[in-house]
Structure 1
Amino acid sequence: MSHEAPIYRTSPARTAKMMAIMCGVCIAGGILFFTFWDYWISMPPGNQVVAGGHKEGPAVATGKTIPVTLNFIESSDFKQLSFNALPGEEGHNPTIQASVGDKVEFAIANNGKSFHAFGVTPAKEGFGDVLAGTEVASANSPLKPGQSGSSAFIPTSEGTFYYICTVPGHREMGMVGEIIVGPKGAAPTAAAPTGISHTFDLNFVESSDFKQLAFNALTGEEGHNPEIKVKSGDTVTIKSANNGISFHSFGVVSNPDDVSSIVFNSAIGSMNNPIKPKEAKEVTFTAGAPGSYNYICTVPGHAALGMKGSFIVE
């Protein structure tokens, strides 16, 4: 019986070299993946689907702001829950009148002894379909007695909406009021150029764990997300430095939940062309129609993490 000599298709050295190349590719890919980690976890832009399959489009602000104060209260036997006053008392669950594009600003306080949470929904029943941006706390993380919060609602369609306690069962016990939204009124127009110029520094900052994003300073620190007020027709220059380790971009928007609602040609960079770490850019524009706007980081998800401030045009 004859024995043939084994035929080697490669050598141990070549095999080791190939393994080293494959490991290098995997390591390089992992580095790239985690370098763009904030991008992968960002929330993609898109229209919001609400009850009945209706899609909410970008809000077109009228410039009108409607302040509303709502307090959670309870009867002593906890059989009646409501806002501001118990049934039969003046101010009970007040009906709010607004027009498409108005900004309803809610100041919410828990004046009861139980836990509560707040939101606006188009649904006639239940505690689901709460519109993004209108929430104050949640059923899983509610407002404790004595706590408060704020939110806003810019209706993009006519109809009846409902403000409710989003803790299951509390709406059925009386914590519900109506928001009647009528057709859009005449929007304010921009003033002629005033010749007055303003310059603001709005720098991107991040907490070390990336759970808090902000402009200029983190929550609780001096200079956090400063409010900007200008006159219609003023020239505004925004200087933004990226003092974080992630990518960011800037814009003044009519709806902070819609990164595409940039106004006044105020964009600095974009999601596809962001401001890189340690990079600084600026933009100059003319403030348009009076109204309440927001400046945000326009990378999806970053405004929700705290990169959002108030921009008021008077």
Structure 2
Amino acid sequence: MTENQYYLTTPARTGKMMAIMLGICIVGGAIFFSLWDYWISEPAPVVAMMGGDSTPTAVAVHTGATITSDLSFIESSDFITLAFNALPGEPGNNPTINMEVGDKVIFNVVNDGVSFHSFGVTADTEGFGGIFPGSEVASPANPLKSGEGGTSEFIAGEEGVFYYICTVPGHREQGMVGKIIVGDAEVPEEVVEAVPEPMATEPAEEKAPVSTEPVAYDGPISLPEGSGVPGCQETNECYIPYHVTAPAGTEIVWSNDDTAAHTVTSGSPADGPDGIFDSSILAGGLTFSVTLDEPGEYPYYCIVHPWMVGNITIE
């Protein structure tokens, strides 16, 4: 029979091994903490791209001039046309900013309208995404109310055409967009689609306006799909029903059935909120409710899309 063999070490060799392991831990810790800023920095751009993040990650360095741009959010009387500083056709409408690589522009923005607005700079030619970090003022979820303002900056890291916009969904398409031209970049020509020849068809039947006569409240008031686009006011279908009546003490519920965010705010676009009720930003799919105990008329509107108006009569 073969006897089992056991390999033993001495206390001295064990101590030596422990000293080596401790030394490795100390050196590794020193390296880790000396590069602390690196370890906690943002992931590589490819990681962000794989994760679907379109936010620019490049950091531009200010090496040139500093430009100041004062911008005011304004709206047409019907709230359908939006702009910076002046309405289309007027001097100063959406002023173009020209700068060189390394220059910095400081934006001082103020909301001189009655709607909610927010601000940012993007390289995207459409939409409200891709906002450069540091260029934001407020956000669609926490926008600037009337009279509020803020300051941000954008540093030109490369030649190209960039855009300062209102980042509230839909407001860019209504006119709140201006160009930032860096260096000798050429502004892309706007695509003008050819208007097709009209086809001989039966004249479209005009949609009759929805009656403004009040109806008894019998369930949630809908903010319908597409109400964030001008046009629903022509048929009183921005809130459905447009005008309801209810006994005092009734809980009135609104349901945002649109993909755009809205508000349900007591008051009127001309005079602003009256402070009786306000849903704040109401994302698509959410509801808001209020109980009104005092008889009277309660007009309301959407601060984001002020053409949206409705009315409640409490009996």
Q: Same fold (TM over 0.5)?
A: no
Give the shorter-chain TM-score range. 0.3 to 0.5
Instruction: Give TM-score, length-normalised by structure 2.
Output: 0.42
Q: Which has the larger radius of gyration?
A: 2
Using CA pairs under 8 Å that are at least 6 residues apart, name the structure with larger relative contact order, 1 or 2. Answer: 1
Instruction: Give TM-score, length-normalised by structure 1.
Output: 0.42
